[in-house]
Structure 1
């Protein structure tokens, strides 16, 4: 099947899906979840092919972790679909209604976007998350994953499509592009007649490439150069726990910590214990001149290091002179994803919340909470780092638009 025919089929499916009621969509989501659990062995067998190829290609441990489908992760994929069943239907909601002086009744009503093109790297769980979110919000989805996860993505998509067969939802509502060439992506990004929105989810290179090629609208997501600033009046035990959680728990994800800033007044108390804990966890440190005095193994940080999303056990560290210096550094280098302050100062906490221009801004909590499920949105299709339409973790509400309905009694405009 050609890519254009795939997009045409998706558009036709989206028209049916937009009119499907909540019961029908929830039944489909439940069937999809059950199918993932039933086919767990098949999914893991196909995932093993990708894992083996990744090892042969010397993929980093952090990226291999993103690629891996464990029992728990497949169960989480199924749970995410089940959780969507419990959420209100976002389609057909009247969010505003008023009557004009001439008697027209005007209402604003939520509607699906139509056909969403999802372009993503490495993480096969996105295949199920994106399919579920799009279905619940009444959208058809065209999925284009990366070469590194091709066997896993094909397996997941095929399981989900088979589950739709007896639900009344068109199977063309979920489609996977098996052509992983750059040319295929470019062709899809110019299909304005059939595709309504593209959502790239991955590193800076992927997002930049999509934005530069697309003639269809794009929501930029995912690039996560996330910062943590340890303020002078900080609880250092909190700071250590948040640092370790942010960097070590899952270093290959977009909400992982990439840069640690420490106020000079607490550097001597905080950095020796933090650097030792990070070293024990296998983290490579790249630091400023002052940071380098705390260990011979610390490499000198470059300008690029402070601007980089490492996706690995690497952390850039800098000692700053003041709160203002920390804010200035973050607003210069942050990708606008998630940034954190650890402080016991109410005034500094409020100033940080006001002055940091990122989608998610934290006080005394890990950046790892930037996630649709953690925010109570069910699954997420990505984390938007832009300001138009949707920002931060994107759940089903972010995949809707609206229309105005106007009811009259024969009024004409004079």
Structure 2
């Protein structure tokens, strides 16, 4: 897993309240059981996956395919599996920066399973205390805590030679649930003598791994989250020049808990998403296909960034900052992303048929530009399209990058400039 970090970046006054993660898993592999201190939204960019996580004291398993969106609440133990024999799994995810993460800029993974690499959260406790809590011998505990050495993503074999995680995945759901809970419950059947010495340890880990149980213990009738496929959704807007899809909590209720939305945009060659403002959310984007440009404007009316982006690039746009996305003239430009609001995002467009230019027409607006109303009306009515606008002959130069610019590009390029380098982010 790789991550583009949010938070405050060096030399910047802007705060990014979200990390963007990229999970890549080889065929027949498992991301071992863990929980995070942050809400997680998964988007399957390529391949298929099976995800299992704890929901209201039950193990829920879902099959995820290309375009699926799924949420995992903070503190909910989960695992990911790529069962396919010959296809990599690629997942893009949003990871909240929460006030509960003890001030760390990066999110924290708490591995339930583990050994020498990664270490299980259990390994930090005094071994005599832990052996007593689990009611096993010190020798058995040592084997239990040192057997795993393959890292957080392990290969699961289909052959006769099986490792511990292969055996875990072949179990029935109730057996997997018991396995995960056994690690943190420390035997709820403990006698009075054991109860006194292990209560605080058991309660501490039980609350961490099963925070969802604590938060939702009055709502056991709630069903586990379903899967939402973004590609199957009807576009919110579509014309000859592209389409856009937005998913909020009214479409997919699990987004309400994380407070985030998701979107997907596809622009035809040369077209643009009209200059607009997000008044209610910060926007994050990941380029899935093609190349294009992202232009962002400062509040004082100067250009903050004009960056060429391509597949794999990550960008973010601060709330209220005007911006637009422009497709190159030789290919479709598709990008997926997250917003920091689960409510319907009412974008305010600054150009086009449905824009503020139309809504504010009048003597006051004309006076603000120092022109008469007739001229203002001529400018306001010149664009007959809305939201996604067609290419113009004069903007073809946007695609022509200079030789120095081509040399600077990497898969996750960093754009030079104090604000620009924060808005196009690379892996740390």
Common fold: TM-score over 0.5: no
Q: Rg larger in 1 or in 2?
A: 2
Q: TM-score, normalised by structure 1?
A: 0.23
Higher relative contact order (CA 8 A, sep 6+): 1
Q: Which has the higher strand share?
A: 2
Q: TM-score, normalised by structure 2?
A: 0.22
